[in-house]
Amino acid sequence: GMKNNEASFSSLALQRAAVSQANQALTEGQELGKINLTAKTRPAQLNQSQTKALSPEDGRRHRVLRIDATLSPRDPKAPGQFGRPVVVPHGKEKEVERRWKEGNFNVYLSDLIPVDRAIEDTRPAGCAEQLVHNNLPTTSIIMCFVDEVWSTLLRSVHSVLNRSPPHLIKEILLVDDFSTKDYLKDNLDKYMSQFPKVRILRLKERHGLIRARLAGAQKATGDVLTFLDSHVECNIGWLEPLLERVYLSRKKVACPVIEVINDKDMRCPVMAGGLFSIDKNYFFELGTYDPGLDVWGGENMELSFKVWMCGGEIEIVPCSRVGHIFRNDNPYSFPKDRMKTVERNLGRVAEVWLDEYKELFYGHGDHLIDQGLDVGNLTQQRELRKKLKCKSFKWYLENVFPDLKAPIVRASGVLINVALGKCISIRNTTAILEDCDGSSQLQQFNYTWLRLIKHGAWCLAPVPDNGALRLHLCDNRNKGLRWLHKSTSVFRPELVNHLVFGNYHQLLCLEGDFTQKTLKVAPCDPAKPDQKWKFENYYED
Ligand code: LR7
Ligand code: MN
C-alpha cells in the first residue's frame, strides 16, 4: 500500500517493483496466476491445485459454499449499485469539496451509496464453480480504524457479513485506534449490536495501525487471522479461497486481489497490495509484526520478508476479490512526523532483513537515518531471525523475486578515462593511470549504492589538502568517501559522466593526467574531456 507515498518510499525499489509487477500481471489479460511473485513455487494453476484437494482418494467430503451471489439490491436505482461510477449531482460540488477532507476521498458520494450495495462479480471464469473443503478453519476478521468515515466503515462490515459463509466467520473485531469522532463512539456500538459477531475493541491511546492489529490479534479467537482495512468491499466468494489456501498449507499467507475503489467516483478496476489471511498460530510463531514498528508503514514488507525467508509463502488468490479505497493522503495525523515514522520503520526492516542489500536502501537518496535518525534496538528482531533459521536476503531475491534486478553494485570492472582511454590502477596506497588490462586485479573496482569506489575493502578518495588520490579503508557511514556518477542526484546534469566529489560549495571532479600518469580532483569542468569516466559494466536500467 505504498503508492501514495512514492517520495518517502523511493528508498525501497523493491516495494515498487513488487507492486508494479503485480499490477502488470493484472492488467496483462488478467494472467492472475503470475503475481504469485515466485518462480520456484509457480502459481498453482487455478484448477490444478483444486484438483489435488478434490481427488476422491483423499477421503474428504467437499461442498461448494454458495451464498446469494448477486445480492440483488433492495433499491436497484440507488447510486453506485454494481460498482457503477457515481456522478456528483449538480450544485453539490461545494459540499463534495467541503466533506472531502473527512476521509480524503469523496465522502459525500460514499454517503449516497447504500451500505450494502451490490457489486459486480469480478472473479475470473471458473471461480464460482470451484470447490473448497467443508472443514475449513474459522477466521477472525480484524479491521483497525482511526476516524474512519461512517458509511465506508459500515460498508466494509456489511460486505464481510453479506458475502462470507457465516460459519467461517468466528468474529469481526473492529479495533478503534483511539478515534476522536463522536459517531464512532455511541452510534457505532448501537449499530453493531444488531450483529452478534461484531466486537468492538477500543484502544485507550493511539497505537497506530501496526500495534492496533497486534492488539486485535491478541484478542482473536478464530483459527486464522484475516486483516482488512476499514474502507473495503469484499466481493462474493472472497473468503473461501483464502481460507482454503491457508488450510492446505498453514505457512501460506493468502492475499485477495485488491481492486481499486476510486477516491473520486468509487469505480473498480484492479490493483495489488496487502490485505491477507494468516494462520493465527503461525503469525505468532513468526513473532507477529516487529512490535517496534510505529503507526504506519513498512510492516507489510517486514512480514513478507519474514514469511518468505523463514519457510512460508505468500500467494495472491485470483478468485478472492476485495475492493479498497485508494486515496492520496492519510486522513489522520501521525503522532510523530510522518516521514520520520516511515523511514524509521523501513530502516528497522532493512537492518534486520536486507543483509548486504541494505546498501540499496541507503543508497537511494538521502536518508534521515544517515543523518542520525535512531531506528531503536534490534536485538530481539535479529535473534528472532536466527531462531527461525531464516534464509538470506540474497536467497529471497534469487528464488522469490528473480525478475527484480537488485544488483548490489551499480557498476564494476575497469574504470576508464574516456578521453585518454586509460584505466585506473592501484599502486600501494594510491592510484595511477595505466594501459587498460581487464585481467588485472589491480584495475578492478566496484561502484556501490553508497557511491563508494571500492577495491576490495579499500575506497578511492582524495586527500583533503592536495587533492591527490589515496586508498582509504571503506566505511559506509563516511560521507567523505562518496562519489556521484551517472546519478540523477548530480546537481548539474552535464556532469553525469563525471566522478563528482564534494558538495554544493565546491564541486570537485576526478581528473586524469596522462603525461604524469596521475590522478587528482580538480574543479569540475564539463568542457574538460579528461574528467569523463566510464566503468566497464553498469547494472542499472
Ligand atoms: O494510526 C493508524 N491507525 C489505524 O487504525 C493509522 C491507520 N489505521 C487504519 C486505517 O483506518 C485503515 O483502516 O489502518 C488502515 C490502513 O491505513 P490507510 O488505509 O490509511 O492506509 P493505506 O491504505 O495506504 O494502507 C496500506 O499501507 C499500510 C502501511 O502500513 C498498511 O499496510 C495497509 O494495510 C495498507 N493497505 C492495503 O494494503 C490495502 C490496499 C492498498 C494497496 C496496495
Ligand atoms: Mn487503506
Quote the CA–CA distance of 80 and 325 in Å, as a whole number.
14
User: From atom 26 of ligand 1, which residue's Cα is the shortest distance away?
Assistant: 1
The predicted model gives 249-265 an average pLDDT of 77
Higher pLDDT, 44 or 165: 165
DSSP string covering 199-262: EEEE-SS--HHHHHHHHHHHH--SSEEEEE-SSEEEPTT-HHHHHHHHHH-TTEEEEEEEEEE-
Residue 478 CA: distances (Å) to CA of 155, 370, 459? 53, 10, 11
The grid cell for 408 is: 548490489
Kindly give the number of the ligand 1 atom that is closest to the alpha carbon of 295: 1
- Asked if 510 and 499 touch (Cβ cutoff 8 Å), the reply is yes
Q: What is the pLDDT of residue 5?
A: 32
Are 396 and 306 within 8 A, CB to CB? no
Report pLDDT for 260: 61
> Minimum mean pLDDT among 18-32, 97-111, 260-274: which range?
18-32
Instruction: Band the pLDDT of 495: cuts 50, 70, 90.
Output: confident
Q: What is the mean pLDDT of residues 221-240?
A: 96
Ligand nearest to the CA of 271: 1
Is residue 527 within 8 A of residue 498, CB to CB? The reply is no
Residue 504, pLDDT score: 64
Among protein residues, the one whose CA lies closest to atom 34 of ligand 1: 274
pTM comes to 0.79
What pLDDT does 48 receive? 30
Q: Band of the pLDDT at 365, cuts 50, 70, 90?
A: low
Res 271 pLDDT > 60: no
At residue 70, φ and ψ (nearest 5 deg) are -90, -20
Lowest-confidence segment of 9-18, 110-119, 359-368, 451-460 by average pLDDT: 9-18
Q: How far is the CA of 79 from the centre of ligand 2 (A)?
A: 22
pLDDT of residue 64: 46
C-alpha cell at 358: 541494505
Q: What is the pLDDT of residues 149-199, one digit of tens each?
A: 999 999 999 999 999 999 999 999 999 999 999 999 889 999 999 999 999
Task: Give the model's pLDDT for residue 516.
Answer: 78
Average model confidence (pLDDT) for the chain? 82
Maximum average pLDDT range among 109-123, 138-152, 368-382:
138-152
Nearest protein CA to atom 38 of ligand 1, as residue: 274
CA of 383 to the centre of ligand 2 (A): 32
Question: Would you place residue 441 in the very low, low, confident or very high pLDDT band (cuts 50, 70, 90)?
Answer: very high
Angle at 331 between CA 274 and CA 111, to 5 degrees: 90
Farthest CA pair distance, the chain: 89
- pLDDT score for 243: 96
Question: Which of 15, 226, 229 has the most ligand 1 atoms within 8 A of CB, as the residue to mutate?
Answer: 229
Q: What is the mean pLDDT of residues 268-277?
A: 51
Which whole number is the average pLDDT over 337-355? 93
Out of 7-16, 157-166, 359-368, least confident range: 7-16
More confident residue, 9 or 418: 418
Q: What is the pLDDT of residue 27?
A: 33
**Any idea which of 283-292, 465-474, 498-507 has the lowest mean pLDDT?**
498-507
- Give the residue from 216, 373, 212, 415 showing the smallest Cα distance to 296: 212
**Is pLDDT at 218 greater than 90 in this prediction?**
yes
As for ligand 1, residues whose beta carbon falls within 6 Å of it are 1, 4, 144-146, 148, 177, 208-209, 212, 229-230, 258, 273-275, 295-297, 299-300, 324, 330, 332
pLDDT computed for residue 68 by the predictor: 47
**Mean pLDDT across 54-81:** 57
Q: pLDDT digit string (tens) for 47-65?
A: 233 333 344 334 445 554 5
Question: What is the C-alpha to C-alpha distance for residues 279 and 134, in angstroms, rounded to an integer?
Answer: 17
How far is 255 from 274, CA to CA, in rounded Å?
Answer: 7
The complex's ipTM works out to: 0.96
